[in-house]
Chains A and B, each alone.
Chain A
Amino acid sequence: MNLAWTLRRGRRGLKRRLARTAGWVGSFALLGFLIGGARLCAERANAVSAHVGGSVHVIAYLRDDMDASRASVLGQLIKKVPGVDRTEFVDSAEALRRLRSATTELSTAAGLLESIEAGFLPRSIEITLSPDASFNDQGRKLADRIAAIPGVSEVDSMAGGVMRLRALAGVLRSLGWALLGLALVTGGVVLVIALGRDRRERVQRDAVLELLGESRVAIVGPRMLATGAVALVGGLVAIGCLYLGFTWVDATLQELTNAVSSDDTAGSAFLSLNEFAIGTVFLVLLGLLLGRLFSPRSQPRHA
């Protein structure tokens, strides 16, 4: 069968089985969405973990009578405490600058800070724990020890925010694994349904074409290309859905991470070009493979 006939039969077949083809596209889209979702969840979980590791975990507010040199010495001392990764001295002016920077985004609050003087806000030492530290317990213990140091007025271990982020990272990781498992199960189910459902029709069509002298390549080839094309469309639909879904997830993540730190988090890219290419090629190859599997090999008949 030449190209003109193959295209004509393909077009008529598509028109006749539009709903079934849409179902196929949906199946591949679901599979792509689940695999892509698993990948993005894992990536976001890692980003959140890295953010938690790199953030400020404990803030020690200093008394007004503590001068800069003593504060510096105190910072050096705290840095020697096991589990502490780094410390940073923040003076009143820097604290005010950060506050103003954070509030400029809220236009209604911006005017309220104009009358505040530089010395109004307390000086502080920001402490970041080592990435391998057990944040909650260690943060709390460290906060207790620092609070006992003369010159320190108050200590905020920020345990609530850190815990929320860590919990979120855990949830994302679990969700990633669940999506991956679901993708494998869905892939298997799609395969079984597809193999079983239209088998009779395919066998009949192949038998007729073989009887009329159609070559095996001309029977199997167009079917493989058709399933490959369906898989490609399904993959593109999946990427669109993932983009929309993860725009919302990223916005939520940003909101949660901003509660702990003003650092810009996990503003991770959606999918890299490589991931996009690998995912698409995987789906198309899966489609081609299914197309091949759907063409049962006829046995030579003899008597």
Chain B
Amino acid sequence: MTPNIDEVLRLEEVTCVRRDKVVLDRVSLSVRAGDWVAIEGARGSGKSLLLAVAAAAIAPRRGSVLIGGRNWMDLQASSVPFVRRNIGYLPAEPVLIEHETALENVVLPLAVRGVAVDAALARANLELQRMGLQGLAHEPIAALSPSERRLVAIARALIGAPVVVVLDEPAGGLDRDDRQRIVEAIGVARAAGAAVLCGSADASFVSLLQSHGAERLALAGGRLNGGSPRMVVVEGTRNDSAPTPIRREDSEQILDDADIEAVSP
């Protein structure tokens, strides 16, 4: 794969193992600014794992994850947070700060980036408004319903025009109107130049995304299928088909010795 100047996210032969079972098998993906990728996969297909790897939340057993042209696993641990600031990530089980309000939760990414308080709060209110939550801005998360919490988490992932937006099951438990709101909000993020990855087991939601211009990919058997050839690189397109070796100094922080020995060439 030839690196592209517009490419904001690139997965190279990413392999993940869970309980001795290969969940992602040398998955490669290239995403440019403004791309919208909808990944469809059954429960347990490794969709959430792939999205977590793309969001720099989990390090893969093998392979590279390049964000803005740099493999985040090559970075020093102290530099990784600066990579994460450019990613809006909604995990399958959204984690919110329960005792803080919806507004305080949504504004956090901007607070972390050091955006001026007033400007950040105005943007957070706007994002909540987009999600139809303007009346709940000052409610603590603990007082919200599961679907409202999910919408708050989506608003948090989309705020501040991140370079990459990774949404795992954004429509889980949401009604038709809310789904439509999400699609529109993603459209706004795309228009600001974000590359968006959405994962869902719900075929109808994936179809909805596709109808709004998303590239549809399917994850099955640890492999990604479908999409344009530009995005998904199938096995054999690399000159070197052997697994990417892991350098000991990079991998020590994420793998134990047994893991390293098992994958060393």
Which residues of A are in contact with B by a Cβ distance under 8 Å? 1-2, 4-5, 8-9, 12, 16, 201, 204-205, 207-216, 218, 300-303
Asked whether A303 lies within 8 Å of B23 as measured between CB atoms, the reply is yes
* Across-interface contacts of B98 in A (CB, < 8 A): 201, 204
Asked whether A302 lies within 8 Å of B109 as measured between CB atoms, the reply is no
- Give Cα A218 to B125, complex, Å: 25
- Given A216-B78, A303-B18, A303-B23: A2 in contact with B114 (beta carbons within 8 A): yes
* Across-interface contacts of B86 in A (CB, < 8 A): 213
Which residues of B are in contact with A by a Cβ distance under 8 Å? 16-18, 23, 49, 52-53, 57-61, 77-78, 81-87, 89, 91, 95-99, 104-105, 108-109, 111-114, 116-117, 156, 253-255
- Give Cα A116 to B82, complex, Å: 92
Asked whether A211 lies within 8 Å of B18 as measured between CB atoms, the reply is no
Asked whether A205 lies within 8 Å of B97 as measured between CB atoms, the reply is yes
Asked whether B111 lies within 8 Å of A1 as measured between CB atoms, the reply is yes
Given contacts A211-B84, A211-B89, A301-B57, 14 further A-B pairs with CB under 8 A are: A1-B114, A5-B117, A8-B117, A9-B111, A212-B84, A212-B108, A212-B156, A213-B87, A300-B254, A301-B254, A302-B254, A303-B53, A303-B60, A303-B61
Asked whether A208 lies within 8 Å of B59 as measured between CB atoms, the reply is no
Asked whether B97 lies within 8 Å of A302 as measured between CB atoms, the reply is no
In the complex, which residue of chain A has the Cβ closest to the Cβ of B120?
A: A5
- Give Cα A209 to B113, complex, Å: 11
Asked whether A302 lies within 8 Å of B114 as measured between CB atoms, the reply is no
- Given A302-B59, A303-B18, A303-B60: A212 in contact with B95 (beta carbons within 8 A): no
- Given A301-B57, A303-B16: A208 in contact with B97 (beta carbons within 8 A): yes
15 contacting pairs across A/B (C-beta < 8 A) = A12-B104, A208-B97, A210-B81, A212-B108, A212-B156, A213-B82, A213-B84, A213-B112, A300-B59, A301-B58, A302-B58, A302-B255, A303-B16, A303-B52, A303-B53
* Across-interface contacts of B53 in A (CB, < 8 A): 303
- Given A1-B114, A4-B117: A208 in contact with B95 (beta carbons within 8 A): yes
Asked whether A214 lies within 8 Å of B17 as measured between CB atoms, the reply is no
* Across-interface contacts of A9 in B (CB, < 8 A): 104, 111
